[in-house]
Chains A and B, each alone.
Chain A
Amino acid sequence: MPKVHYLNATYGIRSWLLTTDHKRIALLYLAAVTFFFFIGGLFATLIRIHLLTPGGYLVTPEMYNKLFTMHGVTMVFFFLIPSIPAIIGNFLIPPMIGAKDLAFPKINLLSWYIYIIGGSFVLYSFSTGGLDTGWTFYTPLSSVYSNAAVTPAVLGIFINGFSSILTGLNFIVTIHTMRAPGMTWFRLPLFVWAHYATSIIFILGTPVIAITLLLAGLERMFHLGFFNPALGGDPILFQHLFWFYSHPAVYIMILPAMGVISEIIPTFARKPIFGYSFIAGSSIAIAVIGFFVWAHHMFLTGESTYAALSFSLLSYLVAIPSAVKVFNWTSTLYKGSISYDTPMLYALGFIGLFLIGGLTGLFLACLGLDIHLHDTYFVVAHFHYIMVGGAVMGYVGGLHFWWPKITGKMYPEFLARVAAVTLFVGFNLTFFPQFILGYLGMPRRYHNYPPEFQVFNVMSTAGASILALGYLLPMIYLTWSIKYGKVAGPNPWPATGLEWKTASPPLTENFHETPEVTWEPYDFGNRRDLGLVAGAPSLAPAHGDD
């Protein structure tokens, strides 16, 4: 480990709260995002305990509405959307492209403070009256009739939106203007491509939910009529405006995770990734096409056949680039030298679970099926497979993969593998029964259900308790490893990205001198500096910039 690095370069709380170092800001985000993950997880726990029995004895129906709403709001806006970009993206994009920091370090810090302020408003809402509108805030329930603390929540999410927008702005500009000499677009790691695509959505989508929630909040505060039929307003207008952002938002949640997988798979298959330019292009394609499909959330609102057909067809189209990625990751594994390190376990799990989640999305995009499956547990299972089985596994896998770089230490490998398997098992036990429940007709957002659905609900809750263990274990041993873990060295895996040429942990300015890039990405056959030569891959870690 280097003597002076970004963690010990300066001391004191002010040096953290007023830092402009992207790596420290990433850790500030890690702390805040983990906190919100716990809050969201708490609500999930209460939901699953309540749903153990058909009578719904744990909480009142009104309270149940608040539980699923607050779970959704916390997890979507304060965990899933920022997790990979604001933590792993912030930390890694500059070293990956050979830069000393992002383009706008102070705006990066501002993003974090905006996140905290937005989160505070939402927590205030949760503790003073809660929120019972669903994370989708459909009007006029949210803007007129709800008796919950809607206004502060809506204000909090509005504010938080600017945190996303500024992060996206920072990433786009950084990737365009701050690349080191020789780091051409097609030498960029796919993680960077993924974040570039994500940032397009941040910039062009988030402002729309900002103005939408602003209008809904104004309607609630001043009794205006934008979305209230009693005053001539239109709830469908709200839904269009809401989903214009919130559908692309799900691509914000998955693209970064796909970027993580694209880094892990070649490393632990010891092979260049298959079809680099197709994976890069598919990230952009997902970001663009994803903006054309939002009204598939509105199939049951009275859309004409023509409108429904077009959105259905476009929704099928947007699945194609995702499928391209799955094919390419799988092809990368073929004839690779596979090792089952913890990050690889998460990546392999991701591929399988994302496949199920993505394909069930196509079930829902089919008009004839959606009529029956809309607003059932099928939808809930579908998006949890992608968000948890996909995005969260990508996040946890990414944390493990880059943990040695971030902290300079290794986590305990055996325990980590146990945790990964636990998470995988727990996850499937929690959510697969929900596909069956939805198929059998159990509606979502209902506080009780007919007795014949109890078996699957009990399985789901049992799975949730195993899943919780799968999350707790890494939190414990990752924290433990900061002090007691083995020293990692600059490149323990070894992997080929430019970030692995920095020290572990990196210097504040990442590189002593701006590097010059002369190699292709994922070139496991030809990296002498990593001890990898064609035909004889070596496991010896390389010497970095110590």
Chain B
Amino acid sequence: MSEHIVPPKIYVVIFLSLMVGTTLTVVAAFQNFGQWNIVIALGIASIKASLVVLYFMHARYSVGRTKLVIVCAVFWLGIMLALTLSDYSTRGPRESRLHVPTVVHSLGS
């Protein structure tokens, strides 16, 4: 770990940015952007996460090895998600493969 000491001012700026991001996420959720809602939500969340990683967790000031670990973790998560979704998206409709649920809970009181 480098001995670079991050001044509190930076932390406060990052905190405020995170607050802005949180507000934006909520406001955007109440607008109808169709299928873009999820993209916006994940996009803002990823920016917020990046700010936490870079500044609160000092990744910005860390050795290359630390950055490699972070990149690998995210990349491997990406492999798991991307390849699984690539299988799901190229299969037939789900209903044709599964039983329909046979356990129907009674509705109403």
Report if A and B touch in the complex (beta carbons < 8 A). Answer: yes
What is A's interface to B at a CB cutoff of 8 Å?
176, 200, 204, 208, 229-232, 234, 236, 240, 244, 291-292, 294-295, 298, 302-304, 306-307, 310
Is B102 part of the binding interface, using a Cβ–Cβ cutoff of 8 Å?
A: yes
Given contacts A176-B65, A204-B73, A208-B80, contact A230 B87 (CB under 8 A): no
Is B4 part of the binding interface, using a Cβ–Cβ cutoff of 8 Å?
A: no
Q: Which residue of A lies closest to B72 (CB)?
A: A204
**Chain B neighbourhood of A229, CB < 8 A:** 98-99, 101
Is B92 part of the binding interface, using a Cβ–Cβ cutoff of 8 Å?
A: yes
Least CB distance from A344 to B in Å reads 37
What is B's interface to A at a CB cutoff of 8 Å?
65, 72-73, 76, 79-80, 83-84, 86-88, 90-92, 94, 97-99, 101-103
List 9 A-B pairs, minimum CB-CB distance, nearest first: A304-B90, A229-B99, A229-B98, A307-B87, A204-B76, A240-B84, A230-B102, A232-B101, A307-B90
Between A and B, 28 residue pairs with Cβ closer than 8 Å are A176-B65, A204-B72, A204-B73, A208-B80, A229-B98, A229-B101, A230-B99, A232-B101, A234-B98, A244-B80, A291-B76, A292-B83, A294-B83, A295-B83, A295-B87, A302-B91, A302-B92, A302-B97, A303-B87, A303-B90, A303-B91, A304-B87, A304-B90, A304-B91, A306-B90, A307-B86, A307-B90, A307-B91
Given contacts A204-B72, A292-B79, contact A231 B101 (CB under 8 A): yes
Q: Which residue of B lies closest to A295 (CB)?
A: B87
**Chain B neighbourhood of A306, CB < 8 A:** 90
Q: A interface, by DSSP: helix, strand, loop or mixed?
A: helix
A302 to B99, CA, bound (A): 15
Least CB distance from B77 to A in Å reads 9
**Chain A neighbourhood of B91, CB < 8 A:** 302-304, 307
**Chain A neighbourhood of B94, CB < 8 A:** 234
**Chain B neighbourhood of A307, CB < 8 A:** 86-87, 90-91
Least CB distance from A138 to B in Å reads 15
A333 to B58, CA, bound (A): 50
Least CB distance from A169 to B in Å reads 11
A230 touches B92 (CB 8 A): no
- Residue of A200, A230, A232, A291 touching B79 (CB-CB under 8 A): A291
**Chain B neighbourhood of A204, CB < 8 A:** 72-73, 76
A236 to B91, CA, bound (A): 11
A229 to B97, CA, bound (A): 9
**Chain B neighbourhood of A200, CB < 8 A:** 72
Least CB distance from B109 to A in Å reads 22
Given contacts A302-B92, A307-B90, contact A230 B101 (CB under 8 A): yes
**Chain B neighbourhood of A240, CB < 8 A:** 84, 87
Q: Which residue of A lies closest to B79 (CB)?
A: A291
Q: Which residue of B lies closest to A177 (CB)?
A: B65
Q: Which residue of A lies closest to B92 (CB)?
A: A302
Q: Which residue of A lies closest to B85 (CB)?
A: A240
**Chain A neighbourhood of B73, CB < 8 A:** 204
Least CB distance from B100 to A in Å reads 8
Q: Which residue of A lies closest to B98 (CB)?
A: A229
- Residue of A208, A230, A236, A303 touching B103 (CB-CB under 8 A): A230
Q: Could you list 11 further interchain pairs (A-B, Cβ under 8 angstroms) beyond the known A204-B73, A302-B92?
A: A208-B80, A230-B99, A231-B103, A236-B97, A291-B79, A292-B83, A302-B91, A303-B87, A303-B90, A307-B87, A310-B86
**Chain A neighbourhood of B83, CB < 8 A:** 292, 294-295
**Chain B neighbourhood of A292, CB < 8 A:** 79, 83
**Chain B neighbourhood of A176, CB < 8 A:** 65
A398 to B73, CA, bound (A): 32
**Chain A neighbourhood of B92, CB < 8 A:** 302
A234 to B84, CA, bound (A): 13
Q: Which residue of A lies closest to B88 (CB)?
A: A236
A387 to B99, CA, bound (A): 37
Least CB distance from B99 to A in Å reads 4
**Chain A neighbourhood of B76, CB < 8 A:** 204, 291
Q: Which residue of B lies closest to A235 (CB)?
A: B98
**Chain A neighbourhood of B99, CB < 8 A:** 229-230
A310 to B82, CA, bound (A): 13
**Chain A neighbourhood of B88, CB < 8 A:** 236
A307 to B87, CA, bound (A): 6
A231 to B79, CA, bound (A): 28
**Chain B neighbourhood of A230, CB < 8 A:** 99, 101-103
Least CB distance from A318 to B in Å reads 14
Among B79, B80, B87, B98, residue most surrounded by chain A Cβ atoms (within 10 Å):
B87
